[in-house]
Amino acid sequence: MRRNCHRHLWLLSGTGDGAPLADALVKRGWKVSVSVVSFQASLKYSHLPLASLWVGALEGVEDIQSVIENARSSHGGFEWIIDATHPFAEIISSNLKIVCNQLAQPLIRFDRGGETFSEASLIKTHQDLLKHDLSGQKILFAIGSRFLSEAVDCGRRSGAIVFARVMPTVEGIRQALSCHIPPGHLAIVRPLHDKSYGYIEAALCRQWGITAVVARESGGVTQKLWENIAREHGIDLFLITRPELIDDVCVANSYEELIDKL
């Protein structure tokens, strides 16, 4: 298959690492097409000279296959696809592997590794909260909206007073309201939206008298934010462990390692 003289990448991003990664790749001469799920996420890429910026969820293997085949028809295809989606976005990562194997498309996973705060309690799922006596504890859930209802239920059954921080999206707010969380126990906040790293989250913890936080072991700046708050304010931290990486996929754990592998 003939390649274009400009090497082309497709970057699928679901975290704050996506824009800096795209910027680094563009500066090294790559043509970069980026996929993000929401319009809000796309704004972080507005200053970059991208080949394409696609907004919206990919619906299964058919959508992924269509993007790859259209790229091969129009410009010789992608030299690499970079899966930089959220570590807990297991479905899209699985679908990417399936399609890339079928089409012999090179795929690399950008996995935000790193050490976890040594004093954090690692739990496999929110169900593990039921193993703890949380009577009277004020617990803040910062786990997204997908499993918020079940997690909040587990917190209540463990005796905790529950609070939640959710993203300012229709789905996030809808899920939070369905949990019957009192309005005064709910914060609608976009994390890392400005330069005040962790300021809003720390202020919420102080205002509510939070004694424990439930977050995800997602790596990157969001996990580090909660680790710092837990350490500085003497708050217990429960981290839901990240899913196992898919076997037989090339993995890079840093910008430098990724660029070296490419």
Do both 101 and 188 map to the same domain? Answer: no
Structure tokens at 133: 């006596």
**pLDDT number for residue 192:** 60
Do both 139 and 231 map to the same domain? Answer: yes
Confidence band of 223 (pLDDT split at 50, 70, 90): confident
Do both 31 and 45 map to the same domain? Answer: yes
| DSSP-assigned states of every residue in 23-71 | HHHHHTT-EEEEEESSHHHHGGGTTS--SEEEES---HHHHHHHHHHHH
SS3 content of the chain, % helix, strand, coil (to 5): 40, 20, 40
Place of tokens 């976890």: 116
**pLDDT number for residue 48:** 94
Alpha helices by DSSP H, listed for the chain, are: 18-27, 39-42, 60-75, 90-103, 148-157, 170-178, 199-208, 220-233, 255-261
Average pLDDT over the chain, rounded to whole?
A: 88
- Does the residue 1 lie in any domain? no
Do both 87 and 103 map to the same domain? Answer: yes
Do both 128 and 23 map to the same domain? Answer: no
**pLDDT number for residue 77:** 94
Residue 5 pLDDT more than 70?
no
105-158 tens-digit pLDDT: 999 998 876 666 678 899 999 999 999 999 999 999 999 888 899 999 999 999
CB atoms within 10 A of CB 246: 16
Angle CA 186–192–195, to nearest 5: 125
Place of tokens 């000279």: 49
- Does the residue 2 lie in any domain? no
Instruction: Assign residue 155 the CATH number of its domain.
Output: 3.40.50.720
- Does the residue 231 lie in any domain? yes
Percent of the chain with pLDDT over 70: 92
Rg (CA), the chain: 20
DSSP 214: E
Dist CA 110 CA 128 (whole Å): 28
Confidence band of 255 (pLDDT split at 50, 70, 90): confident
DSSP 247: T
- Does the residue 81 lie in any domain? yes
Do both 87 and 157 map to the same domain? Answer: no
Do both 103 and 165 map to the same domain? Answer: no
Do both 19 and 69 map to the same domain? Answer: yes
Do both 221 and 251 map to the same domain? Answer: no
Do both 99 and 170 map to the same domain? Answer: no
The number of folded domains in the chain is 2
Write the Ramachandran bin of 11: left for phi over 0, alpha for psi from -120 to 50, otherwise beta: beta
Residue 45 pLDDT more than 60?
yes
CB 105 within 8 A of CB 81: yes
Please name which of 64, 67, 85, 71 lies closest in space to residue 31, comparing C-alpha atoms: 71
Residue 183 pLDDT more than 50?
yes
Structure tokens at 34: 């980026």
Do both 34 and 86 map to the same domain? Answer: yes
- Does the residue 209 lie in any domain? yes
Dist CA 161 CA 152 (whole Å): 9
- Does the residue 218 lie in any domain? yes
- Does the residue 3 lie in any domain? no
From the number of C-beta atoms within 10 Å of its C-beta (0-12, 13-18, 19+), residue 80 rates as: buried
Range of the domain at 56: 8-111+245-261
